[in-house]
Amino acid sequence: MTKLTNPVPLFLDLRGALLDAGYVYVGNAGQEPMTHPLPLFFDVARTIPATQPLRTMGGRIVNGSVPATVYFAADDFSMLTLDADGNQVDYSPSLTSASTAYQ
């Protein structure tokens, strides 16, 4: 089981401010995450599904209005982050759980 963490401590917008009302997509490694999404969950037991896109508030992924941790089964994944207007903030075609383990 892989815990989704951001490659940076918080999700930021294009100006470097905390990303509010942003969109985060997580997909298969090497594929576009919007069209090839991974199943995501808000609990390690994978009983509480997380719908994509994930939303952000104050730079954190949230479940409703509560900061949340997201889990998925893949070791390798892609991630796309958009701001509230749909502008691309970041795209990583291939990440591993090891590359995000510091958080």
Contacts by residues 43-52 (CB-CB < 8 Å, ≥ 24 positions apart) = 43/71, 44/1, 44/3, 44/71, 46/1, 46/71, 46/73, 52/24, 52/25, 52/26
Query: pLDDT class for 103, splitting at 50, 70, 90?
Result: very low
Query: pLDDT class for 1, splitting at 50, 70, 90?
Result: confident
Per the prediction, the chain carries an average pLDDT of 89
Which tens digit of pLDDT belongs to each residue from 68-78?
989 999 999 99
Q: What are phi and psi of 18, to 5 degrees?
A: -60, 135
Q: What is the pLDDT of residue 96?
A: 86
Nearest by Cα to 18 from 56, 48, 47, 45: 56
Task: Look at residue 54 and give its three-state secondary structure.
Answer: strand
